[in-house]
Amino acid sequence: MELVAGCYEQVLFGVTVHPKSEACGDREQWTPVADFTHHAHTASLSAVAVNSRFVVTGSKDETIHIYDMKKKIEHGALVHHSGTITCLKFCGNRHLISGAEDGLICIWDAKKWECLKSIKAHKGHVTFLSIHPSGKLALSVGTDKTLRTRNLVEGRSAFIKNIKQNAHLVEWSPRGEQYVVIIQNKIDIYQLDTASISGTITNEKRISAVKFLSESVLAVAGDEEVIRFFDCDSLVCLCEFKAHENRHTYVDSMWYLESNKMVENVIFMAFNNAKVGWVGGS
């Protein structure tokens, strides 16, 4: 398994994580081994996305760089935006979606690496975007205090909602039946069929990252040492644990295989002291 991360020092680095053959108690121990580093940008990295072969990085230098993980070489650069790249999302292995402070959302061909469409999505910065599991819809939030739904098949705006404040995160649930919009320490939960808020969760401090672990369970990390797990149906905090002494900047998760069976959901965390950690949970 490969972990990739970018940092303020303009560097992309990759770490391979190997399970140890011996177990510690009833849990397998994982060992990280440095795999590669790549210095492509002239300013700090601001976004990273990965598909089955490539890592793409966005930066405050207004460029997107492509790194081939198979060949361990730089594959090229994409130059179209005129502002900091704020978000990058792969839509399968065929397309890459980028957003930036110039208010544009660009759809790229991830084979030929050509810009297929450039959309003026927000009057201000594009702060964050999320792709529906079907690959047909994209949600974006920006500094114009709007939440926008875009039809990616037709390349047109499908819905615009004024949210009165600048949201900085948006995320679809795994089945795409609901999504969350984050404003500072507040999580608004929207239902797709009604496009209305079904509930609100308030975290203790500002939220910097969220990840759906299931259709209803949301992992929340932010400007504090703990990660919390909330139930989006009951709106209650299911549990929390102290992950680090520093604030979290990113959280993600994945299931891993053991004897060809998915046995555990592993949560990965990035901290503002240039460290990456993980923890397993069923």
Domain segments of the chain: what residues?
A: 79-281
Distance CA 108, CA 85 (A): 14
Give the C-alpha separation, 155 to 68, whole Å.
Answer: 28
Per-residue pLDDT, 33: 79
Kindly give the pairing relationship between strand 196-202 and strand 114-120: unpaired
Cross-strand pairs, 236 = none
Q: Rounded distance, CA 202 to CA 184, Å?
A: 9
- Whole-model pTM: value is 0.82
Q: State how far the alpha carbon of 192 is from the alpha carbons of 178, 198, 249, in Å.
A: 5, 10, 27
Q: Which two tokens mark 274?
A: 């240039």
Q: Which residues pair with 105 in a beta bridge?
A: 99, 119
Give the whole-angstrom CA distance, residue 104 versus residue 223: 28
What pLDDT does residue 120 have?
93
The amino acid at residue 268 is: F
- pLDDT score of 252: 55
- pLDDT for the residue numbered 18: 72
CB 148 within 8 A of CB 171: no
Structure tokens at 28: 């397998």
CA 219, CA 130: separation in Å to the nearest integer? 16
pLDDT tens string, the chain, 282 residues long: the values are 777 777 777 788 777 777 665 555 555 667 777 787 888 889 989 999 999 899 999 999 999 999 998 898 999 999 999 999 999 999 988 999 999 999 999 999 999 999 999 999 999 999 999 999 999 999 999 999 999 999 988 878 889 999 989 999 999 999 999 999 999 999 999 999 998 999 999 999 999 889 998 999 998 988 888 889 999 999 999 988 887 665 544 455 443 444 444 334 444 545 444 454 444 444
Longest dimension (CA), the chain: 55
Q: What is the identity of the amino acid at 105?
A: I
| Short-list 224, 133, 222, CA closest to 183 | 222
| pLDDT score at 184 | 96
Helix, strand, coil % (nearest 5) of the chain? 0, 65, 35
First-last CA distance in the chain:
18
Containing 24, the helix (H) or strand (E) segment is strand 11-24
Residue 13 burial (CB count, 10 A): 18
Task: Give the Cα-Cα-Cα angle 107, 113, 114 (nearest 5 degrees).
Answer: 60
In CATH terms, the fold of domain 79-281 is: Methylamine Dehydrogenase; Chain H (2.130.10)
Distance of alpha carbon 58 from alpha carbon 88, whole angstroms: 7
- What HEC string does 214-240 produce? CCCEEEEEECCCEEEEEECCCCCEEEE
